[in-house]
Amino acid sequence: MGSSPATGPTPNKGYEAAAVQRLGVLINGLTDMFKMVGAGSDLGKDILKIINIASKHVPPGTVTPAGEKNQLEQMAMKNQQNSQQMAQMKAGPSAAGGQAAPPPSMPQAA
């Protein structure tokens, strides 16, 4: 007999709410893109499909202007952090404040 928990894992409702908020922001961005390309293009048709599918999960009023501003600021901050990390990686270890370790020496044959 194996033991099993009385209940299964439950999703984190806070993460789910944050994901719905972020999805709402993305829908707003997709709507802006749709306005640029129009409904006549293949790209516009696909963007409209995505908006229709995603909108089912975002109730009206979920995204407030303040919520959208917060999401965009968070995304900009993460983008800046990622850019800094990529720049450090491209520059090499000396730019990150460290020195490259010498390669390990090969054992001498006797």
Q: Is residue 60 part of a domain?
A: yes
State how many domains the chain has.
1
Q: Does residue 103 sit within a domain?
A: no
Note the pTM of the prediction, 2 decimals: 0.61
Q: Domain for residue 6, yes or no?
A: no
The residue that leads in pLDDT, 67 or 58, is 58
Q: Band of the pLDDT at 54, cuts 50, 70, 90?
A: very high
pLDDT of residue 63: 82
Tokens representing residue 3 in the block: 């033991």
pLDDT for 9: 75
Q: In whole angstroms, what is the distance from residue 5 CA to residue 92 CA?
A: 48
Residue 109 vs residues 17, 102, 104: alpha-carbon distances, Å: 63, 21, 15
- Name which of 8-12, 48-52, 65-69 the model is least confident about: 8-12
Residue 51 lies inside a defined structural domain of this protein: yes
Contact partners, residue 102, CB within 8 Å, separation at least 6: none
* Residue at 9 is within a domain: no
Query: Contact at 8 Å (CB) between 34 and 48?
Result: yes
In a domain, 34, yes or no: yes
CA gap 81, 75 in Å, rounded: 10
Average pLDDT of span 74-84: 89
29 lies in which domain range? Answer: 14-88
Q: Is residue 80 part of a domain?
A: yes
Quick check: is 59 in a domain? yes
Quick count: other Cβ atoms within 10 Å of Cβ 70? 13
What pLDDT shows up at residue 108?
Answer: 61
Whether residue 63 contacts residue 83, with contact meaning beta carbons closer than 8 Å, is answered with no
